[in-house]
Structure 1
Amino acid sequence: MDTKQWNAEIYINERGNDTHVRAVLTTQDDTTIVGTGHARRNPADRSVPEIGDELAVGRAFLDLGHRLVELAGADIAQAAQQG
């Protein structure tokens, strides 16, 4: 069984009530896929930065997951045309 390693880097930028995240996944063959996420705290809510981080990172990973599935679909279509 082969073991592969892909690396993910998470960049969290907080500004005021907004949290923006960029999740960068790099595959073993140096393919890079980027997902983004955003969270906004209601000004009436208590400030708990970790909650915004969790929401924004989770949304970035969801976006990244969708992009991976789309990439796999494109790779399948290309392989079908070649073979």
Structure 2
Amino acid sequence: MGREHCRLREDAWPTLFSTQNTVVHVMLQAAETGIAATGPDDPAHERLSRMRDFYQFLLAELPGLLQRWQQLPASRS
């Protein structure tokens, strides 16, 4: 069985992760849309609010997380 090779940039994973925030933004917008469509007494409203809060938290934490990753020694394997 043959091997397949691919070449990635040195910073491929953090770069990919930071540019894939589109999915997070889409989920955040979906939560906002759902919140607007439900009343405060609806159980879905609470779940969607927690979903929104999670994605807002994730977006706020990502820059620091990626910065900490970049500060780790290169020999982390």
For normalisation by structure 2, the TM-score amounts to 0.36
Q: Greater relative contact order: 1 or 2 (C-alpha under 8 angstroms, separation 6 or more)? A: 2
Higher Cα Rg: structure 1 or 2? 2
Q: Which has the higher helix share?
A: 2
Q: Which has the higher strand share?
A: 1
For normalisation by structure 1, the TM-score amounts to 0.34
